[in-house]
Amino acid sequence: MVTEPTVNRLLVATTNPGKFREIAELLGSLPIELVGLDKLGPAPPVTEDGTTFAQNAAKKAQHYAAWSGMWALGEDSGLEVDALGGAPGVYSARYAGPEANDAANNAKLVDALGDVPKDERQARFRCAMVLAAPDRLLAQTEGTVEGCIIDQPRGHNGFGYDPHFFVPELGCTTAELPRHRKNEISHRGQALRAMQQAIHALLTKRPAG
């Protein structure tokens, strides 16, 4: 258990291995060790009851920074579908229920859009990231990518709703993109690049340790 603040290590406040992998790839050039929640032992849960992605990301960052004594990066992201009034939104990970997996969430999404014409299925992935120290917020970034929802899944990369999220400009789903290409255009990639710059600026203002 970490008890002293440090900027040699950054806690990535997620238990989702796909998210941790994407974050680690894009922040890997920073002179700081990235640590997952699973490396610090049983972590106290945080109630994600915010009405926006930014609110939930801030709650995670503040909660786990205070618990660990480390800088913590909180992230919340999901899918917004215009024809569904912005749903699943902040409930994206549990759209089909608290214990739902990706397959169940995707099945519910496709079913909910069953009567919606193909040209009215505009959607976006949205991501918010917040960096916190144990005693304060340090930075906040966001990113979005526009697309539409298709019925039949395509591609085996990515996770979550990626197989059903079609990007017209690219002619494919985000699950069909190589990981490096997805990181270039994705909502999380946008937020992470901005966060990388923010973290770099913060690290250069004070010595590590």
Active-site residue set? 76
Helix (H) or strand (E) holding 10: strand 9-12
For 126, phi then psi, to 5°, come to -130, 140
Cα–Cα distance between 150 and 169 in angstroms, integer?
Answer: 15
- Give the closest residue to 22 by CA, choosing from 189, 197, 187, 208: 189
The rounded distance, in Å, linking the Cα atoms of 164 and 60 is 28
Give Cα separations from 56 to 17, 74, 179, 183, 201 (angstroms).
19, 8, 26, 22, 24
**Residue whose tokens read 């966001």:** 142
